[in-house]
Chains A and B, each alone.
Chain A
């Protein structure tokens, strides 16, 4: 018998308010879980208000993007995502091999070892890498970095914003998962490893039934063998079955859950986001999965 899967129900609600009615608006959301390894999405629904028929595409990084156009005047746009995700713990901790630079130079994953808009590679982060792990470029050194970041910086919501830079974290000494992940990416890339940003949710651990709050972010690094391993520079260490992946990219800019443009002179308030992740019993999870299957079946029966 392998490890038992855990199942989570995720409610991810976003409300956009405009100071006056706008139309039309065009939106792209990245809110469908991105399965990999032990993660499997059993059910997914995206409902908008005003109603729309979202269309989907897969972006460059393999994330599912839903496009939502609202043609009529609207003062608010609500997007409710309900998903059921199953997550199986890995059998063993990954250990990755570092790249030979000439191999990486001709590999598409080189992209994740270069600077990106929110992860510049400047001398200050190169200095931090040297101070913390010297010349060690092994996977163990990366684990050390992920462990070290939460000890060196204070986790504090409100210390930074969604637009903060690595410099803001370094000068203020405090930040959130997004900032910690960006700093880790800079250090890993200086060390010559392809490393990418992961957006997602953190499910309840231990005795907790559910967690409420915002989304989470962590990182994945890729070894020369081509495998990606997740590290969480906010909690310091490897990721587990409670890390539910949504999207991956070079940095936050590639995975932002919502991007939108609207016509009109209205001002948009900061989106109101609520996320709740609840542990589900095995039975409830199967019912949810069947429910989706049944729903699909019924929809298909309505055609000719």
Chain B
């Protein structure tokens, strides 16, 4: 029996606009759950510690341990992020559309380059992108799909979702979403069944199916999950996904290419590999073609792929659509390739290599967030508002000197969600959402995703590498 929020319920901070109305009441999708979580005798207070112990016992980590320590776990907040059925349907369609356009763009970059000739996306940005692997132009991957898995970062600004970043190289985080759900099912099963939350269990099955579909021999597809290794921050995820899809977890030195076919060394024998689900950036996949110093992929892998003897997901070269300097043009891609109006907007973003836009950014620096184009994990981000005069001058000089290396976005006010404060009370912290999209014949969006939470009430960056935490993300079935 769930008690309605009564006088015993502490006042809700209205700054937590993701969960709370301006009048201080829980928003409708949250009503039942908050009532239960905040009722007398609720287990909420102890849940963070329980969840931490639960994660630690299962070796669920993000990042590499400091000497002598256990690997860190992502701080977990037990108050779920809840999305209503209707708002999810809108978001789902918008993300599917976006990933279809990104996939078409990747295919175009490695095909006829129509959009570049017609000036839809500036050719100079593609040709100077580290994600554009020109030696792969002309290769058509199996089923002509490039972007099998995408993680699109969205934020809610003034009530509406906007895309902050498209991750199509090696998006990580789905495993954390899956275990967050497992933990919640363990700790608060009643809340989940009372709210009517859609299951996210289908992810692994769907992923396996879409990988099988691109195998050169679909009747006996053997799948290898290629990980950079145990020192990679997302190694736990690689291990978990390999398990879940029935694949082998391999590092680059366990794969070997012989006569353009790929094998895995396994207990003294060689086992043929049909599909590589790669969690290694493409520039590191094949030392013969790309970075010669790489030990993360076997020499000859790309030629084996080019000849159709092995499938690789995402297609090598997909990173061109992940370049933050190209992101401003994604809405134009939607219009161009799909002939549709984009269903979700970008955060206003400026192309620094365009002289006019750069001048605008420098004059309005206090409203801008400056990001390096080819970094991830929230590293190197600068908020103009927080810079002193010297830092502003240095930033302006940097943008002038290396315009292609930077991107500027208007600082937006991320929505805030209720979180359990260190003192056991409630506080509002900035959140984003990374839903995962699988592109098979049509896009499929896992109902949920990874909600990332800033590490405290002041911080605006939510990346796990920056100490951010996570929440279970619920999509209601009705």
Contact = CB atoms under 8 A, between A and B. Distances in A.
Contacts of B292: 259, 261
A209 interface: no
B172 to A, nearest CB: 28
B468 interface: no
Given A105-B119, A106-B116, A261-B287, A59 B303 contact: no
Given A114-B128, A261-B287, A106 B119 contact: yes
A132 interface: no
B288 A114 contact: no
Contacts of A59: 135
B124 interface: yes
Interface in A1-60: 24, 26-28, 57, 59-60
Contact of B124 (A26, A114, A259): A114
A65 to B, nearest CB: 9
Interface centre among B118, B122, B134, B137 (most CB of A within 10 A): B134
B123 interface: yes
Contact of B117 (A24, A67, A106): A106
Contacts of A259: 288, 292
Interface residues of A, number: 21
A259 B113 CA distance: 29
Contacts of B134: 60, 111
B303 A67 contact: yes
B300 interface: yes
Contacts of A106: 116-119, 123
B127 interface: yes
Interface in A87-123: 105-108, 110-111, 114-115
Given A60-B137, A259-B292, A26 B123 contact: no
B251 to A, nearest CB: 14
| Chain B interface residue number, banded | 20 to 34
A114 B122 CA distance: 13
A189 B30 CA distance: 59
A6 B246 CA distance: 63
Nearest to A111: B127
A269 B318 CA distance: 36
A24 B298 CA distance: 11
Contacts of A111: 123, 127, 134
Given A60-B137, A105-B124, 16 more contacts: A24-B258, A27-B288, A57-B306, A60-B138, A67-B303, A69-B259, A71-B258, A105-B119, A106-B117, A107-B123, A108-B123, A110-B127, A111-B123, A111-B134, A115-B128, A260-B288
Closest 7 CB pairs of A and B: A261-B299, A26-B299, A60-B134, A111-B127, A261-B287, A261-B288, A60-B135
12 contacts: A24-B258, A26-B257, A26-B288, A57-B306, A60-B137, A60-B138, A69-B259, A71-B258, A106-B118, A110-B123, A110-B127, A111-B134
